[in-house]
Amino acid sequence: MKRIIWGLLSLLFVLVLYYLFVRPFEYEVRFKANTLPGDLIETIRIWNKSLDDARILKVDSFSTLAQTVVVENRTYTFLWNFKLQNDSVSQVSVQVSEAGNAFRNKILIPISEQPIEQHAGELMRNFYNVLKEHLEITRVKVIGEIMLDSVFCICRSLETSQPEKAYGMMQDFPVLTSFIQDFGLVTKGAPVVLVRHWNHGEGALKFDFCFPIIKQDSLPVYDSFFYTYVGGVRALKAEYYGNYITSDRAWYELIHFANRNGFVVTGFPMEYFHNNPNLGINEKEWKADIYLPVRN
Q: Is 9 contained in some domain? A: no
Alpha-carbon gap, residue 163 to 69, rounded angstroms: 19
Q: Is 275 contained in some domain? A: yes
Alpha-carbon gap, residue 231 to 189, rounded angstroms: 13
Segments forming the whole domain that contains residue 33: 23-137
Q: Rounded to the nearest 5°, which phi and psi values hold at 54?
A: -145, 155
3-state secondary structure of 73: coil
With left for phi above 0 and alpha for psi between -120 and 50, is residue 132 left, alpha or beta? alpha
Indicate which CATH number applies to the domain containing 166.
3.20.80.10
Indicate which CATH number applies to the domain containing 86.
3.30.530.20
Q: 208 and 260: one domain?
A: yes
Which of 263, 151, 159 is CA-nearest to residue 212?
151
Q: 101 and 133: one domain?
A: yes
Structural domain count of the chain: 2
Query: Helix, strand, coil proportions of the chain in percent (round to 5)?
Result: 35, 40, 25
Per-residue pLDDT of the chain (296 residues), as tens digits, is 666 665 554 444 344 444 444 477 899 999 999 999 999 999 999 999 999 999 999 999 899 999 999 999 999 999 999 999 988 899 999 999 998 888 888 888 888 899 999 999 999 999 999 999 999 999 999 999 999 999 999 999 999 999 999 999 999 999 999 999 999 999 999 999 999 999 999 999 999 999 999 999 899 988 889 999 999 999 999 999 999 999 999 999 999 999 999 999 999 999 999 998 777 788 999 999 999 999 98
Q: 67 and 183: one domain?
A: no
Q: Is 233 contained in some domain? A: yes
Q: 174 and 226: one domain?
A: yes
Tell me how far CA of residue 168 lies from CA of 31, 82, 162, 249, 278, in angstroms. Answer: 33, 29, 10, 18, 15
The answer to whether the pTM exceeds 0.75 is yes
pLDDT one-digit tens code per residue, 122-141: 999 999 999 999 999 999 99
Q: Is 7 contained in some domain? A: no
Alpha-carbon gap, residue 89 to 37, rounded angstroms: 9
Q: Is 279 contained in some domain? A: yes
Q: Is 271 contained in some domain? A: yes
